[in-house]
Structure 1
């Protein structure tokens, strides 16, 4: 028995809950990775990238809360505990210590790209299970893609 009952069909709740939990893990870890880079970046473009990282953190934290609340709304308790992130995150991780600006930019390009790929799969799944959750994921993914573009513009990779 759940504490919250939703009019969404039970099978759709289960699938959507799994999607939302995966998105929550990605977003919470992305916010931590961006903050880690924010604190440890070195280089001539320190300030501009430092501020850009804060924008990624703000997006990730805002949408993490929205995703977690959507999960609660459909009757699935969200799990944002550190142990859960450690077990389930697939987001690219930074090395220990100071990070040169080019390494930070590459880290964010990779972390965002992986997160975006997983979000596109989640969007596909929720197209069949819960259009309201899909709408949240669409807005989130648009923001992540914008951050990805901006980091790529900081450090274009050879074609």
Structure 2
């Protein structure tokens, strides 16, 4: 069996690995939640929100891959299995069925706000341990904040 030797000290690798895993779960579940809303949205703003939700899905999937690859690069195994996401997600879940556009805007404004808060905590937590991972978290946070802004002005 082959393993990746970490360029980080053990305590830094452990701390950064936890932050990366939590970020992976946030991003994967955000993509799933946005796709669920995308399929079930109704209302006057259907078209624009339908398209914006796909942008969120694409963003989350792309950055989930970057997060997982960063984990592997520092010698940490990412875990994106459905069971892991279900057990550890902190993403608020949508109700089942059709979703009115104003409820989707409110739900995703709240969801993105919570995820941004956690990413900002991870930015602070990785400042000493790994500036490369911190830079990745800063990039992701900037994109999340753009999506947050674009949704929140629709309320």
| TM-score for the superposition, normalised by structure 1 | 0.95
Q: What is the aligned residue count?
A: 155
Tell me how far apart the structure 1 counterparts of residues 29 and 124 of structure 2 sit (CA, whole Å). 22
User: Pairwise mapping of residues 57-96 of structure 1 onto structure 2 (< 5 A)?
Assistant: 57-96=57-96
Structure 1 position 93, deviation (Å): 1.0
SS of 1:117 mapped into structure 2: helix
Structure 1 residue 135 corresponds to structure 2 residue 135:
yes
Tell me how far apart the structure 1 counterparts of residues 16 and 35 of structure 2 sit (CA, whole Å). 29
Structure 1 position 6, deviation (Å): 1.6
Structure 1: gaps spanning 5 or more residues: none
Q: Is the 8 A contact 1:41 1:104 kept in 2?
A: yes
Q: Is the 8 A contact 1:109 1:151 kept in 2?
A: yes
Structure 1 position 76, deviation (Å): 0.2
Q: Is the 8 A contact 1:93 1:111 kept in 2?
A: no
SS of 2:127 mapped into structure 1: helix
Structure 1 position 141, deviation (Å): 0.3
Structure 2: gaps spanning 5 or more residues: none
Tell me how far apart the structure 2 counterparts of residues 36 and 128 of structure 1 sit (CA, whole Å). 37
Tell me how far apart the structure 2 counterparts of residues 98 and 38 of structure 1 sit (CA, whole Å). 10
